[in-house]
């Protein structure tokens, strides 16, 4: 008799740095798919995609893209973006007060612009100051680059404004940049001019690059708030401002974003050449969809009125619910379409949102997925759903909390 031996083939192991790559928003959606597969209808309050709710894309943008495709603009194009799109971005930036513009580059969503700019800057062991809480894309990219996490606090007691003293304490010899998300995801905060001037001065004194994610800059629904781009306050400081069509122009699936680099040419241009090399290596952003940029920025803006009116009403509904709900405290959001209430609960917030999904079929995202101060617990709520959906979701959350923590 012959003996058959089985050869053990070793598994292909992922790079160790991937252990730190997380994306809480999509990771939790896997559990939601399992619950939905059991026949339950989920109330989704987790994804910042206006197209999934009652926010239709402006028709003139759709027409521009359809025409571009019909006219044959379906091949590769310039790596940094087609000419009239880049000019439209520049013109708007200059109208808004940007000076010393050194480069504009159109990307596969603002996410690619962010990834490219971080990749061109960071060496292993370097760090950038990132907000806590933060949008998880940044942590994922930095983990991929083997960069050190260096998170500064957003002060919940001060309307979620950045804690400038904490920011300065965290600067060290390997710090390369400061990141802002304004208006903020996940808190809905809009940063004051005074706060931004202090951050610009900090970057100036420590020779740091500024990154400013301003994808929600036109979604301001609180009349007391005004969005200010930090680049307009500090033309002498190297800065890259990220923006795009996704949120304000209601086309997140088109993946059209951009970066605007400003500051003294001799300081920022050597770095920008590395960013440009990365963008040339990936060829180009989606060609036909870039034809929506000029009509979006220079065409009718009426949709912003009804978008912000809806967001204002839904934010008020959310604030009113939080005010009357035990164990929930909420700093009222002023922009974007998120609320980030703190939770006074005896368990971690991942358990809270997971059990809420299993028991009441409402999907939020746990605050710890965005980072938070030790000892605090939060949940991020997307306030895009129609008011009847939000009202239903909030009733179920209140019911869940009453049953679980009575």
How many Cα atoms within 13 Å fall on the side-chain side of residue 160? 28
Burial of 373 (0-12, 13-18, 19+ CB in 10 A): middle
State residue 404's pLDDT score. Answer: 96
* CB proximity list for 279: less than 8 A, separation 6 or greater: 79, 80, 105, 107, 116
383 phi, psi to nearest 5 deg: -100, 20
pLDDT (average), residues 186-191 = 98
More confident residue, 22 or 71: 71
23 confidence band (pLDDT: 50, 70, 90): low
Residue-wise pLDDT for 142-162, tens only, equals 999 999 889 999 999 999 999
| Domains 16-56+302-404 and 61-298 agree in fold | no
30 confidence band (pLDDT: 50, 70, 90): confident
pLDDT (average), residues 348-362 = 96
Asked if residue 235 has pLDDT above 80, the reply is yes
Residue-wise pLDDT for 53-105, tens only, equals 999 999 999 999 999 999 999 999 999 999 999 999 999 999 999 999 999 99
State residue 76's pLDDT score. Answer: 98
Dist. CA 390–CA 54, nearest whole Å: 13
State residue 308's pLDDT score. Answer: 98
State residue 25's pLDDT score. Answer: 67
On whether the CB atoms of residues 178 and 61 are closer than 8 A, the answer is no
Asked if residue 331 has pLDDT above 70, the reply is yes
User: Which residues are bridge partners to 343 per DSSP?
Assistant: 328
User: pTM for the complete prediction?
Assistant: 0.94
* CA 92 to mean position of chain CA atoms: 21
User: Own/partner pairs for 62-70, CB < 8 Å, 24+ apart?
Assistant: 62/292, 64/291, 64/292, 64/294, 64/295, 65/254, 65/288, 65/289, 65/291, 65/292, 67/291, 68/287, 68/288, 68/289, 68/291, 69/288
Asked if residue 2 has pLDDT above 60, the reply is no
4 confidence band (pLDDT: 50, 70, 90): low
DSSP character at residue 65: H
pLDDT (average), residues 13-32 = 75
16-56+302-404 domain in CATH 3.90.1150.10? yes
Q: For the packed helices 24-37 and 349-360, what is the interaxial angle rounded to 10 degrees?
A: 30
338 confidence band (pLDDT: 50, 70, 90): very high
- Report the percent of the chain where pLDDT is more than 90: 91
Query: What CATH fold (topology level) applies to the domain 61-298?
Result: 3.40.640
- What are the residue boundaries of the structural domains of the chain, listed by start? 16-56+302-404, 61-298
Dist. CA 380–CA 42, nearest whole Å: 16
* CA 122 to mean position of chain CA atoms: 20
């Amino acid at each position: 008799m012959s003996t058959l031996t089985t050869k053990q083939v070793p598994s292909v192991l992922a790079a160790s740095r991937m252990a730190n790559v997380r994306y809480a928003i999509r990771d939790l959606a896997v559990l939601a798919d399992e619950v939905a597969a059991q026949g339950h209808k989920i109330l989704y309050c987790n994804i910042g995609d206006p197209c999934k709710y009652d926010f239709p894309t402006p028709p003139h943008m759709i027409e521009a893209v359809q025409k571009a495709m019909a006219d044959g603009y379906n091949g590769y194009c310039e790596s940094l973006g087609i000419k009239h799109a880049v000019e439209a971005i520049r013109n708007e930036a200059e109208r808004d007060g940007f000076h010393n513009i050194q480069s504009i580059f159109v990307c596969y969503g603002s996410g690619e612009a962010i990834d490219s700019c971080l990749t061109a800057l960071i060496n292993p062991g370097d760090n950038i100051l990132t907000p806590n809480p933060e949008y998880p894309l940044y942590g994922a990219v930095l983990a991929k680059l083997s960069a050190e996490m260096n998170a500064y606090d957003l002060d919940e007691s001060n309307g979620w404004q950045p804690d400038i003293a904490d920011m300065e304490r965290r600067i060290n010899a390997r710090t390369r940049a400061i990141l802002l998300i304004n208006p903020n995801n996940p808190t809905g905060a809009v940063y004051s001019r005074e706060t931004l001037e202090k951050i610009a001065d900090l970057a100036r004194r420590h020779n740091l690059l500024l990154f400013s994610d301003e994808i929600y800059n036109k979604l301001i629904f609180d009349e007391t708030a005004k969005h200010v781009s930090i680049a307009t306050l500090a033309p002498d400081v190297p800065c890259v401002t990220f923006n795009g069509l996704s949120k304000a122009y209601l086309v997140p699936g088109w993946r059209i974003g951009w970066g605007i680099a400003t500051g003294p040419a001799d300081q920022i241009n050597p770095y920008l050449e590395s960013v440009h090399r990365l963008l040339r290596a990936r060829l180009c952003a989606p060609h036909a969809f870039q034809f929506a940029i000029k009509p979006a920025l220079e065409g009718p803006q009426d949709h912003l009125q009804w978008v912000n009116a809806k967001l204002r009403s839904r934010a008020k509904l959310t604030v009113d619910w939080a005010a009357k709900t035990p164990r929930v405290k909420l700093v009222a959001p002023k922009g974007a379409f998120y609320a980030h209430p703190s939770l006074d609960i005896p368990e971690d917030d991942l358990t809270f949102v997971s059990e809420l999904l299993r028991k009441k079929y409402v999907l939020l995202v746990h605050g710890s997925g965005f980072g938070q101060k030790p000892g605090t617990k939060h949940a991020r709520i997307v306030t895009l759903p129609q008011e009847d959906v939000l009202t239903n979701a909030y009733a179920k959350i209140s019911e869940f909390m009453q049953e679980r923590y009575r």
